[in-house]
Amino acid sequence: MKKALRVILILLVLVLISVHVYGFFGIKDASIEMNPENLIVVEAPDQTEAMEHPDFIKEEYVPVIPEGTNIALEGKATASSFTQVYNARRAIDGVAVGVSYWEAAPNSYPNTLTVDLQRKAPIHAIRICLNPASIWAKRTQTFSVKISDDGENFEELIPMQQYTFDPDRNNEVVLEFDTVETQFVQLEFTENSGATGGQVAEFEIYSKES
């Protein structure tokens, strides 16, 4: 008797679950769902190979490398501050991926990153990069560019502006200007929407002088 009662209870539970599931997904009244008036016919394209929807295809981006030589690689970098192991030297080591970047101490604006070129040289372009990996999400940074002959008295070369760093565009910002001669080049940061201090993976300074 108990065994029969248990079987009946199990059957009732299965019936209740079936009604709940079919009702929840709207399958109970299939005649309404399958009414031709409720259907939209979409013509599929002829396909002979794997295809990707155009809305999901990213535009190919070619990194912008200014003319000349990146002479920052020969220089010495210093910063107003840094956090953990992300010191200024990492910004001019020629490596933009992984953990090779400079980051200022949290909430210490304004932040400065300065490169001593070790000699006075003509420069005409600057390329500032973050890690190009998509995990480094799109962000803005606000900074100015200053130059100096002695490392103490700086004059503004490019006024403070907000720039967008987008991994879909290699997380780079390229600034070109009329050629100037200088020994020290400095970035001054006042905002970073992706962190609490300025960040630079590579600070490249270009000269056409061989």
Most confidently modeled range among 25-34, 50-59, 116-125: 116-125
Band of residue 5 on the pLDDT scale cut at 50, 70, 90: low
Band of residue 25 on the pLDDT scale cut at 50, 70, 90: very low
Q: What is the mean pLDDT of residues 161-178?
A: 97
Task: Give Cα 19 to chain centroid, integer Å.
Answer: 49
Q: What is the pairing mode between strands 102-103 and 199-200?
A: antiparallel
Number of residues assigned to the chain? 210
Band of residue 15 on the pLDDT scale cut at 50, 70, 90: low
Please report the pLDDT score of residue 19 as a whole number. Answer: 54
In this predicted model, which residue has the larger pLDDT, 29 or 97?
97
92-134 pLDDT, tens digit per residue, is: 999 999 999 999 999 999 999 999 999 999 999 999 999 999 9
Mean pLDDT check: name the lowest of 35-44, 91-100, 149-158.
35-44
56-98 pLDDT, tens digit per residue, is: 556 778 989 999 999 999 999 999 999 999 999 999 999 999 9
Mean pLDDT check: name the lowest of 19-33, 59-73, 133-147.
19-33
Q: Which residues share a beta bridge with 200?
A: 102
Please report the pLDDT score of residue 60 as a whole number. Answer: 78
Average pLDDT, the chain: 87
CATH class of 69-207: mainly beta
Q: In this structure, which amino acid lies at residue 195?
A: A
Domain positions in the chain are 2-38, 69-207
What does the radius of gyration of the chain's CA atoms come to, in whole angstroms?
A: 30
Q: What is the mean pLDDT of residues 167-180?
A: 97
